[in-house]
Amino acid sequence: MNASAKDSTTEEKIKIAAKTVFYKKGFAATRTRDIAEEAGLNLALLNYYFRSKAKLFEIIMAETLSGFVNSMKVILNDEKTSLEEKVKVIAERYIDFISAEPEIPTFILTEVRNNPEGLLKRLPIKEIVNESVFIKQFQEAVQNKKITEPNPLHFMMNLIGLVVFPFVAKPIVMGSRNLDSAQFHDLMQERKKKIPIWITMMFAAV
């Protein structure tokens, strides 16, 4: 193995360890030493690759959120899908996304609490939502009286809440019915079909 390949492997090992620790503890509670221990490396080597915890966190945040945000942007701006279809795609895609990366909701919530300004700078939510095809379709649905609630924020909060909350409250959800991991997974798969129905009923109600 040549030096460049070795360096690349070590750097990736550090990033994987940092992702694991940051997801569990958030930025404030994580020590550089925690990451080094998770990676099985000495602290000096970690500092050689990444000069500070803040720099490493920036990289992990960018990689974690870029896929989340870019995927949402594509969904909301798809002119070929209806509002109802967008709800279905969001429910399906993000339940699968969080199932694969279960620490992400807690990670984001931790940063919302500890550093909301910094998180908002990394997540251009305002631009993604307000300038989207989704908003135009929502407004048209309100005008056509297909949706009785005129505020799109209620629509988005309810949709995101229905997708994300079960993962945040996973220990409580599982404990309430003595579910194992496989049963919880099946429950989330059921929600893919139920969430679009609930959203439609919710905003068609008078």
Write the pLDDT tens digit of every residue in 96-145.
989 988 878 887 787 777 777 776 776 677 777 788 999 999 999 999 99
Q: Are 72 and 128 in contact (CB under 8 A)?
A: yes
CA 201 to chain centre: 25
Exposure b/e, 165-194, CB count within 10 A at least 16 = b = ebbbebeebbeeeeeeeeebeeebeebbee
User: How far apart, in Å, are the Cα atoms of 10 and each of 13, 40, 42, 47?
Assistant: 5, 10, 12, 12
Least reliable range by pLDDT among 66-70, 143-147, 180-184, 185-189: 66-70
